[in-house]
Amino acid sequence: MGMFNRRRGARTTISITWSLIVLWAALGYFVYGGLAGVFAMLILGILYDLAMLLALIPFAGVVLQALVMYFLITPWVLDFTGIAATWLTTLVFWVDIAFGCLITFIMSMYVLAHLMD
């Protein structure tokens, strides 16, 4: 029974992530005025979600995630796609950082709980 609940939780997380990426892409169409904005936001959303794996590192994961997103991913995507930084790219950045904070907090509490045993 417990394994079923974990699987459902993983599926829910993945569907929320993909729902956000589709939302960012749809907003990109209107903000940037065409399919170039859609593809730019798809690339940005997918790369930001891959960077969220760094948030699995306890205590410092979200800091590493933010640094990679800010200094590596964002400039590359803006240069590659030719879009400019707008409120949408900032919103995507901070929403992914918020999810990263939650993940890092959960992993840190998990590590602390096992260290206390």
Domain boundaries of the chain, sorted by first residue: 2-116
pTM for the predicted model, two decimal places: 0.87
Q: How confident is the model at residue 112 (pLDDT cuts 50, 70, 90)?
A: very high
pLDDT over 90 (residue 7)? no
Residue percentage of the chain with pLDDT more than 70: 88
Chain segment 34-84, per-residue pLDDT in tens: 999 999 999 999 999 999 999 999 999 999 999 999 999 999 999 999 999
Q: Which pLDDT score is estimated for 16?
A: 78
Q: Which pLDDT score is estimated for 46?
A: 95
Q: Which pLDDT score is estimated for 13?
A: 65
pLDDT over 50 (residue 4)? no
- Compute the mean pLDDT over every residue in the chain, rounded to the nearest whole number: 91
Q: Which two tokens stand for residue 6?
A: 């974990």
Specify the length of the chain in residues.
117
1 burial level (CB within 10 Å; 0-12, 13-18, 19+): exposed
* 35-67 residues labelled b (16+ CB within 10 A) or e (exposed): eebbbbbbbbbbbbbebbebbebbeebbeebbe
Q: If you average pLDDT over residues 79-97, what whole number do you get?
A: 97
